[in-house]
C-alpha cells in the first residue's frame, strides 16, 4: 500500500528553516515570557527518533547484539524519553529549557556516526551489504535532518534574545540584509569556500607529510561570483573531503615523489538553479578493487584498517574540522575558516571538534559527502580514469527551495 500524506515524514525547505515556529514568532517585547495563544510541541523530533528506534528494533537479533549498534539504540531511547517528558512550549522560558535539553542531546549524540560505522563494519557478515547500506543511509540522513533543525532552532532562539532583535532596537551595528540567519549562510561564495577549504587542507598535508613536501596547488576557474544559500558546515565538509582525497592521492603517487605535482583544478559553474563544483586531479585514479565500494559503509577491502582508525575517533559531527589536524599538535593560531564564524553558545556543527589525527582514514568522507549533497536535492558523482585521475562533480541547488530528500515511511518500514 502506498504511503498516505499523513504517513510521510515532513520535508523541510531551506527557506523554511529561516524562521522560528509560528507560536514562538508571535512573542513581542510586551509579551516576553507570557503564554502563547497556541502551544507548540516539537513532536517532529519525537517522531523521527521513534522511527529510528523502530528501525533498529527490526534488525536481526544477532545484529543488534553488536555493542556499537546497541550503544546507538540506547542513545536514541534516552533522547526519546527525555524529550517526551517536556511539556508543551507556551512561553519563551519553556523554549529556553527545551533548547538546553536539545543542546545536551546533540552533544551526547556526537558518538553516533563512529559507533554506527563500527557497527556496520562488524556486522557486515550478518546482513546483506545492500540492506546494511540502506539502513546506514536512512539513519544518517535522518540524523542530519534532526541536527539541522535543532541547531537552527537554537541559533534562531539566540538571535531572538539579542537586544537588536526587537522593533525599537537600534540597528547601527547590524546589516539590514544579514548574510546569515542562524546556521544558514544566505550568500555562500563558491570561490571563497574553495579557497578556505584548500588552505585548511594544505595545512593538514604539511602536518602529515612534513613542511618540505610538494603539496599540489589548487587552481580555481569559472564563475567566481557564484553564491548560494546553504548550511556552511555542510558545504565545507564536502569540499574539504574531496580536496583532501585529491591532495592525499597526489602526494602519494610515485610519479610526483621528487617533482612538483600538477595542480588540483576546481571549476565553478553557475546556472540559474545550480552551482556545480568540478574537482579534478591527476593522481592515478581510484583502484578498481575500491571503486565499487566508495559509497558503501560496510563493503570494501580496508575493513580492519577502518575499524582501527574509527576506534581512535570517539566523536564525529561530520564537519570541516574533522578533516583537519589535532589542535594539540599545531600552533595555537591555527583556525579553520568555519571556526571564525561567530558562535552562539551551543555545541553546533561548527564547534564540535573531534581531534582527528591527520593520518586517520575512516572511509566515511565520500559516503557522508554523498548523503549531505543529496540531502538538499544536490548530487555528488565520482568519475575515475585509472592511470590518470579523478573528476568529482558536486552539484548544489542555489535557490534554497528544494525539499530535503527524506525516505518515505514505506521505505523506512522495509528496512
409 located within any domain: no
Residue 110 shares a structural domain with residue 123? yes
Residue 348 shares a structural domain with residue 382? yes
Residue 78 shares a structural domain with residue 102? yes
Residue 230 shares a structural domain with residue 125? no
Question: How large is the angle between the packed helices 190-209 and 232-252, nearest 10 degrees?
Answer: 40
Cell of residue 290, nine digits: 575500491
Measured at the alpha carbon of residue 249, what is the angle toward residues 350 and 298, in degrees to the nearest 5?
65
The confidence band for 344, taking pLDDT boundaries of 50, 70 and 90, is very low
For the stretch 130-154, pLDDT in tens is 888 888 888 888 888 888 888 888 8
With a CB cutoff of 8 Å and minimum separation 6, the contacts of 247 are 201, 202, 205, 215, 216, 264
Q: End-to-end distance of the chain based on CA atoms, in angstroms?
A: 16
The pLDDT value given to residue 409: 38
Q: Which domain holds residue 240?
A: 180-397
Task: Give the C-alpha separation, 187 to 255, whole Å.
Answer: 40
Q: What is the DSSP letter of 125?
A: T
Residue 118 shares a structural domain with residue 195? no
CATH number at residue 186: 3.30.565.10
Which range is most confident: 165-169, 212-216, 278-282?
278-282
415 located within any domain: no
With a CB cutoff of 8 Å and minimum separation 6, the contacts of 91 are 33, 34, 35, 36
Give yes or no for a contact between 318 and 237, defined as CB atoms under 8 angstroms apart: yes
408 located within any domain: no
Residue 270 shares a structural domain with residue 291? yes
* H or E segment and range at residue 274: strand 274-280
CA atoms within 13 A on the CB side of 40: 19
The last residue of a domain, from among 148, 175, 202: 175
For the stretch 93-103, pLDDT in tens is 888 999 999 99
Residue 107 shares a structural domain with residue 214? no
Residue 278 shares a structural domain with residue 141? no
Q: What is the mean pLDDT of the chain?
A: 75
pLDDT higher than 90, residue 239:
yes
Give yes or no for a contact between 405 and 141, defined as CB atoms under 8 angstroms apart: yes
For the stretch 308-333, pLDDT in tens is 555 555 555 545 444 444 443 333 33
Helices and strands counted in the chain (H then E): 12, 8
The confidence band for 30, taking pLDDT boundaries of 50, 70 and 90, is very low
Residue 34 shares a structural domain with residue 60? yes
The confidence band for 267, taking pLDDT boundaries of 50, 70 and 90, is very high
The number of distinct structural domains making up the chain is 2
For the stretch 202-228, pLDDT in tens is 988 888 888 888 999 999 999 999 999
The pLDDT value given to residue 47: 84
pTM above 0.75, yes or no: yes
Q: What is the torsion angle, in degrees rounded to the nearest 10, for the CA atoms of residue 147, residue 149, residue 155 and residue 161?
A: -140
With a CB cutoff of 8 Å and minimum separation 6, the contacts of 267 are 221, 222, 276, 277, 278, 280
Task: Give the C-alpha separation, 71 to 66, whole Å.
Answer: 9
Residue 165 shares a structural domain with residue 261? no
Measured at the alpha carbon of residue 151, what is the angle toward residues 24 and 179, in degrees to the nearest 5?
85
CATH number at residue 30: 1.20.140.20
Which of 75-79, 233-237, 317-321 is predicted least confidently? 317-321
With a CB cutoff of 8 Å and minimum separation 6, the contacts of 88 are 39, 40, 41, 94
Amino acid at each position: 500500500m502506498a504511503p498516505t500524506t499523513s504517513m510521510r515524514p515532513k520535508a523541510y525547505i531551506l527557506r523554511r528553516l529561516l524562521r522560528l515556529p509560528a507560536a514562538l514568532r508571535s512573542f513581542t517585547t510586551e509579551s516576553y515570557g507570557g503564554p502563547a495563544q497556541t502551544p507548540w510541541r516539537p513532536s517532529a523530533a519525537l517522531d523521527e527518533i521513534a522511527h529510528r528506534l523502530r528501525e533498529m528494533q527490526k534488525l536481526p537479533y544477532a545484529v543488534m547484539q553488536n555493542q556499537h549498534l546497541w550503544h546507538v539504540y540506547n542513545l536514541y531511547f534516552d533522547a526519546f524519553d527525555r524529550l517526551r517528558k517536556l511539556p508543551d512550549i507556551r512561553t519563551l522560558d519553556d523554549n529556553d529549557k527545551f533548547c538546553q535539553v536539545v543542546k545536551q542531546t546533540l552533544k551526547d549524540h556526537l558518538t553516533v556516526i563512529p559507533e554506527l560505522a563500527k557497527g556496520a563494519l562488524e556486522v557486515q557478515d550478518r546482513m546483506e551489504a545492500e540492506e546494511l547500506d540502506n539502513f546506514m543511509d536512512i539513519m544518517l540522513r535522518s540524523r542530519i535532518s534532526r541536527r539541522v533543525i535543532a541547531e537552527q532552532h537554537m541559533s534562531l532562539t539566540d538571535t531572538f534574545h539579542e537586544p537588536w532583535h526587537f522593533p525599537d532596537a537600534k540597528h547601527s551595528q547590524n546589516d539590514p540584509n544579514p548574510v546569515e540567519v542562524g546556521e544558514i549562510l544566505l550568500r555562500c561564495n563558491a570561490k571563497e569556500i574553495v579557497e578556505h577549504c584548500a588552505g585548511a587542507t594544505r595545512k593538514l598535508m604539511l602536518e602529515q607529510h612534513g613542511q618540505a613536501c610538494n603539496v599540489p596547488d589548487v587552481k580555481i576557474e569559472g564563475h567566481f561570483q557564484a553564491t548560494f544559500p546553504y548550511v556552511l558546515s555542510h558545504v565545507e565538509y564536502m569540499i574539504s573531503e574531496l580536496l583532501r582525497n585529491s591532495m592525499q592521492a597526489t602526494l602519494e603517487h610515485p610519479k610526483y615523489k621528487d617533482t612538483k605535482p600538477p595542480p588540483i583544478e576546481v571549476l565553478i559553474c553557475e546556472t540559474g538553479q545550480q552551482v556545480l563544483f568540478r574537482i579534478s586531479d591527476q593522481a592515478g585514479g581510484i583502484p578498481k578493487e575500491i571503486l565499487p565500494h566508495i559509497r558503501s559503509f560496510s563493503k570494501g577491502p580496508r575493513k580492519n584498517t577502518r575499524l582501527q582508525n574509527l576506534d581512535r575517533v570517539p566523536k564525529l559531527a561530520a564537519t570541516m574540522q574533522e578533516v583537519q589536524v589535532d589542535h594539540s599538535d599545531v600552533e595555537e593560531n591555527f583556525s579553520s575558516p568555519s571556526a571564525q564564524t561567530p558562535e552562539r553558545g551551543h555545541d553546533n556543527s561548527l564547534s564540535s571538534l573531534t581531534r582527528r589525527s591527520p593520518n586517520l582514514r575512516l572511509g566515511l568522507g565520500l559516503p557522508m559527502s554523498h548523503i549531505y549533497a543529496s540531502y538538499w536535492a544536490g548530487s555528488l558523482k565520482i568519475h575515475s580514469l585509472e592511470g590518470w585521475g579523478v573528476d568529482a562533480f558536486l552539484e548544489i541547488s542555489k535557490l534554497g527551495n528544494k525539499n530535503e530528500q527524506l525516505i518515505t515511511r514505506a521505505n523506512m518500514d522495509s528496512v
